[in-house]
Structure 1
Amino acid sequence: MTHQLPPLPYEMNALEPHITANTLSFHYGKHHQAYVTNLNNLLKDHPLTAAPLEEVIMKSAGKSDMMGIFNNAAQVWNHTFYWHCMKSNGGGMPSDSFKAKLEATFGSFEKFCEEFKQAAVTQFGSGWAWLVADKEGSLKILKTGNADLPMAHGVTALLTCDVWEHAYYLDFQNRRPDYVDTFLKHLINWDFVESQLPQ
């Protein structure tokens, strides 16, 4: 199986003015594509050559001799998930039922945003902030470094914000807090987030 760069779920300029087509052309067209290319090169003549992406991730997670495979496979997955977490005219409020779930966990929708932003801003170096659901359906916020991702920790990803510098530097320079604020207020695709809840 040759892994492919999945199509973006919107046009390259759909997230403007918040994330520009210039950023997406580099982030999606260069960075995401590079992870796909690297993964295919690493999997040549490998026992996992024909395995689906999630199987590659789970079978390489935590194995020092497969670190390159894990990093590239996880980054392919992370980026695909991240694109779907955003939409044109996103942000705002989730549905009443999901908002109630966030309020039950974090105290208020505003407190959820505050805690999510805190996770994203305080992730040292490159990585990701996540809203996840555990096996019981309880919501939690976590942050992961580099390519690490929730499935490697037995939880389900609902929402992610990419805090690698290449995600925001062309539009926000070093202002990660402003990027995260913009993500929360103007970009989140709440319909997608809710669709990821374990059934």
Structure 2
Amino acid sequence: MEKAIDAKTMKLHHDEHHATYVEELNSALKKYPDLRNRSVETMLRDLDGIPEAIRTTVQNNGGGHLNHTIFWQIMSPKGGGQPTGQIAQEINKTFGSFEKFREQFNAAGGDRFGSGWVWLVRNAKGQLEITSMPNQDNPIMKDRYPIMGNDVWEHAYYLRYQNRRAEYLNNWWNVVNWEEINRRWQASSQQQ
């Protein structure tokens, strides 16, 4: 993945940041054993059903865990290139071309003020759309299925790119795992 993200950033990002989200979520759930049988997705879809004492912790750390799990899955050192399969057809149908989609996706990531994520999602009508969410919020909190997302928190890119988020966003496409994104597109149709 060195062509887009350096190994030191990946190690810190995974072993420190992501691990902390998991630890904090598990710690919050210790007092609520009935919640431990629920998936993170289920908890985030129904935050109002989470006890108020841990709701923000579940939102932030459960979201951080889910976001990063998706992030690691949709990247590959052998990734990059043009989209393939059904997602390529859907991107062309929705955005006109891969290049137009990529420009809009990067613009949404670049425009995210502060920390957050840029997402390609399937909305409740079954259509693709690009959205940006603050902090560790996940699109499933807004009844959207996340197909792919890019982390625009500074910890995702700062060691290599410093304040050059646009360069990070452009280079990130070199590791996109289109096979996994196609799998997520297929899975999204079962969530409708």
> TM-score of the superposition, structure 2-length normalised?
0.89
Partner of residue 183, structure 1: 172
Question: CA shift at 1:16, angstroms?
Answer: 1.4
**Counterparts of 1:52 and 1:97 in 2: how far apart (Å)?**
28
Counterpart of 1:30 (choices 10, 13, 16) is 16
- Give unpaired runs (5+ residues) of structure 2: none
**Structure 1 counterpart of 2:96:** 107
SS of structure 1 residue aligned to 2:35: coil
- Relative distance call for 1:174 and 1:62 in structure 2 (3 A) is farther
Counterpart amino acid of 2:146?
A
After superposing on structure 2, the runs of 4+ consecutive aligned residues of structure 1 that deviate more than 4 Å are 61-65
Q: Is the contact between residue 45 and residue 143 of structure 2 (CA under 8 Å) also seen in structure 1?
A: no
Distance 1:143 1:173, change over 3 A: same
Greater relative contact order: 1 or 2 (C-alpha under 8 angstroms, separation 6 or more)?
2
Matched residues in 2 for 1:194 and 1:71: separation?
Answer: 27
SS at match of 1:48: helix
Judged with a 3 Å threshold, the aligned counterparts in structure 2 of structure 1 residues 61 and 146 are, in CA distance, closer, same or farther, namely: farther
Structure (1 or 2) with the greater helix fraction: 2
2:67 to 74, 78, 81: 78
| Mapped partners of 1:172, 1:80: distance in 2 | 23
Instruction: Please name the residue that 2:38 is paired with.
Output: 51
Cα separation, 2, equivalents of 1:117 and 1:195: 22
TM (norm. structure 1) is 0.86
> 2:36 is paired with a residue of what secondary structure?
coil
Describe the shift of the 1:53–1:169 C-alpha distance in structure 2 as closer, same or farther (beyond 3 A): same
Counterpart check, 1:163 vs 2:136: no
Deviations 1:34-74 (A, max 9, x none): 00111111111214133222222223269764111211011
Counterparts in 2 of 1:98 and 1:166: CA distance versus 1, 3 Å: same
Deviation sequence 1:83-124 (CA, Å, 0-9, x none): 111111311111154323212111111100000000000000
Matched, 1:137 2:106: no
CA RMSD, Structure 1 to Structure 2 (Å) = 1.7
Q: Which ranges of structure 1 fall in alignment gaps of 5 or more residues?
A: 1-14
- Give the direction of change, closer, same or farther, for the CA distance of 1:78–1:96 in structure 2 (3 Å limit): closer
- 1:171 deviates by 1.2
